Amino acid sequence: MEPNANASFCVALHRTMGCYVARVLELPGCIGRGATEVEAVESARTAIRAYLQLARALEGDRATVQLQIRV
């Protein structure tokens, strides 16, 4: 998962529990949070970088253990 320098992602902004949440639609589980919409989007930008960095690190790596858990 290696985006180019001009990569862009769709972000859905939500107002919930007194803050804003920016959910990155193309990256499941990748979200940002902030007191304002701008802070949430900036947090999402940081989360995208971390998500992609981890995806690159795990690429081709086999899981040591796979578990199924209940919530």
> What percent of the chain is modeled with pLDDT above 90?
79
Residue closest to 26 by CA, chosen among 46, 7, 5: 7
- The rounded Cα 68 to chain-centroid distance in angstroms is 22
Whole-number pLDDT of residue 55: 92
pTM score: 0.81
- Containing structural domain, residue 26: 1-71
What CATH number does the domain containing 54 carry? 3.30.160.250
What average pLDDT does the structure give for the chain?
Answer: 92
Which tens digits make up the pLDDT trace of 7-39? 899 999 999 999 999 999 999 999 999 999 999
Q: Which residue has the tokens 């193309």?
A: 26
Structural domains in the chain (count): 1
